[in-house]
Amino acid sequence: MATGALRAKKMEELFGPVEDLPTLPHVVAKIGQMTVSPQTNAADIGKLISNDPALSSKILRLVNSSYYGFPRKITSVTKAIVLLGFAKVKNMAISAAVVDVMRPAGGVEGFDFVQYWRHAVATAVAAEVVARRVHPLQADDAFVSGLLAETGKSLMAWHLPEKYAEALRFARQHKVIMLEAEEEVLTCNHAEVGGYLAETWNFPETLVEVIRHAPHPDDVRRDRMMIDCVHVANAMTNALGIMGAGEALVPPLADSAWRNLKLDETVLYELENEFLRGFENAGAILDLAG
């Protein structure tokens, strides 16, 4: 049996059939398809989003936030797409959808969804900052990769609340990172689970691989620029005190990720300052969890 089939079987044993997993709204999936089609224009996507008043309202709130810094208020989704491009608006739609569908139903002892979302947004901002240094054309992809990197945590808290609460206690009591605690209690970790969820959402394979391998980039031999960006971004946000949900320790940084990105210590201060400015202006994105 192929590795992928074994993985799917293990995930189904834990979470049940695929039909039981959270699903993104149809409009978000459609946006993703349209943004990669050469026949699509801003008016087409603007019309699609405008037919969903709740999503349209959230996107316009994000567009007019200080994160993007437009001097005048943007009043239509179509204009936002013209000014920002398809990729950024798609990322906004994904952000708005993910925060709605991934919030655990009911409380889970030790799991703070607001903390989870705060770290997700911070990692997204940091990944975008790092990517702008090494591959500017992929900065938008880096943002959404960072945002979704730990979705597995929320899915585990949603579907396996008692077991995940046990993993959270294990991390605190034994002073280990959540990845290790999850493997001890659940025999899998949030990176594996997040990658599986991204597959069920039909996200691009590159994004699935980032989610699956960001904690351990050295497991990947082929091109791993985006994986390294998200790995470094996660380390940066944790080191700056914006800890991932349930984390009692700062997860270790793979030296190879830093080297592969051809970054040196002289730019670290600049990266941190760029990140802090961006995160300070990300209030509207953070408020999606409110």
pLDDT in tens, 121-153: 999 999 999 999 999 999 999 999 999 999 999
On average, the pLDDT of the chain sits at 91
Confidence band for 30, pLDDT divided at 50, 70 and 90: confident
Terminal CA-to-CA distance of the chain, rounded, Å? 44
Any idea how long the chain is?
Answer: 290
Q: What local confidence, expressed as pLDDT, does residue 3 receive?
A: 64
Q: What angle do CA 29, 34, 35 make, to 5 degrees?
A: 100
Question: Averaged over 249-272, what is the pLDDT?
Answer: 90
Q: At what angle do helices 139-148 and 225-239 cross, to 10 degrees?
A: 60
Which CA distances in Å does 189 have to 112, 152, 154, 182, 197? Answer: 18, 8, 12, 5, 13
- Phi first, then psi, for residue 108 (nearest 5°) are -120, 120
DSSP 261: T
Q: Taking residues 70-95, what's their average pLDDT?
A: 90
Cβ–Cβ under 8 Å, residues 278 and 125 = yes
Short-list 110, 90, 95, CA closest to 48: 90
Question: What is the band of 100 on the pLDDT scale with cuts at 50, 70, 90?
Answer: confident
Structure tokens at 15: 């979470």
Beta bridge partners of 111: 108
Range with lowest mean pLDDT among 30-39, 75-84, 126-135, 255-264:
30-39
- CATH 1.10.3210.10, the chain: domain bounds: 107-289
Helix (H) or strand (E) holding 238: helix 225-239
CB 104 within 8 A of CB 113: yes
- Would the pLDDT of 2 be above 50? no
Q: What is the CATH number of domain 107-289?
A: 1.10.3210.10
CA dist., res. 70 & res. 65, Å (int): 8
Q: Where are the beta strands (DSSP E) in 61-218?
A: none
Q: How far is it between the farthest Cα atoms of the chain?
A: 57
Dist. CA 91–CA 67, nearest whole Å: 13
Question: Of 153, 74, 117, whose CA–CA distance to 288 is shortest?
Answer: 117
Mean per-residue pLDDT for 245-253?
90
200: closest CA among 1, 24, 6?
24
* Torsion sign across C-alpha atoms 212, 216, 219, 223: positive
Query: Residue 219 — pLDDT band, cuts 50, 70, 90?
Result: very high
Which pLDDT belongs to residue 25? 86
The per-residue pLDDT for range 51-72, each reduced to its tens digit, is 999 999 999 999 999 998 888 9
pLDDT at 1 (0 to 100) = 37
